[in-house]
Amino acid sequence: MGDEGREPAGLAEKLDQLFHARSRERGRPLSANDVATEINIKAGEQVISGNYIWQLRKGKRDNPTKRHIEALAEYFGVPAAYFHDQPEPADAGAVGTSERPTAVLGAMQDAGVIAMAARFMDMSEESRSAVLEMINRVRKLEGLPEVNGAGEETRSLP
């Protein structure tokens, strides 16, 4: 309704948005149990339960541990900071300010970045390095600037 385009208010809404985005990627609904199972299998141990994820998503619980936030962030391919309440800067509309997390998430979704990140997460370090090398070569072919390990453009001096 009138909520489209506004940033999610809290953890439950942010988590719900990620569930909807991942469900669209998969072409079928994603359950809290699906997420918990995949997180726990990847970790090789019980990290989080489906019931707890459901409680977080529905706003029944709102104070997850750092480990839970990191596991959810890794699963959904977003930075852990995405889940933290961040006050909007006073000059949020000013030119040159960073995009809000949901705008970035939306752009990443449109570009298929979240889907790629989900596939990238469980690759070996060697495979991830090979993929990054290919991406850097394609960027060079397209005349795009090089990026460093932090994802920032590197500028060469003339």
**Domain 11-85+99-113 CATH (choose: 3.30.1450.10, 1.10.260.40, 3.30.230.10, 2.60.40.2470):** 1.10.260.40
CA distance 103 to 52: 27
How many helices and strands in the chain, by DSSP H and E?
Answer: 7, 0
pTM over cut 0.75: no
Quick: pLDDT tens for 94-144: 434 444 555 666 666 556 666 676 677 667 888 888 888 888 898 889 888
List the domain boundaries for the chain. 11-85+99-113, 123-158
pLDDT of 19 over the 70 cut: yes
- Predicted confidence at residue 135, as pLDDT, reads 85
CA-closest candidate to residue 77, choices 12, 22, 16:
22
- Predicted confidence at residue 82, as pLDDT, reads 85
Paired tokens of 73: 């962030």
CA distance 141 to 62: 46
pLDDT of 90 over the 80 cut: no
- Predicted confidence at residue 97, as pLDDT, reads 42
Give the C-alpha distances (Å, rounded to integers) separating 68 from 64, 72, 102: 6, 6, 20
Of the pLDDT bands very low, low, confident and very high (cuts 50, 70, 90), residue 152 is low
Q: CA 45, 40, 64: angle at the middle one, nearest 5?
A: 100
pLDDT of 4 over the 60 cut: no
Quick: pLDDT tens for 28-62: 889 999 999 999 999 899 999 999 999 999 999 98
Paired tokens of 43: 């970790």
Paired tokens of 121: 């997460």
- Predicted confidence at residue 87, as pLDDT, reads 45
Of the pLDDT bands very low, low, confident and very high (cuts 50, 70, 90), residue 7 is low
CA distance 13 to 20: 11
CA distance 112 to 11: 23
DSSP lists the bridge partners of residue 147 as 153
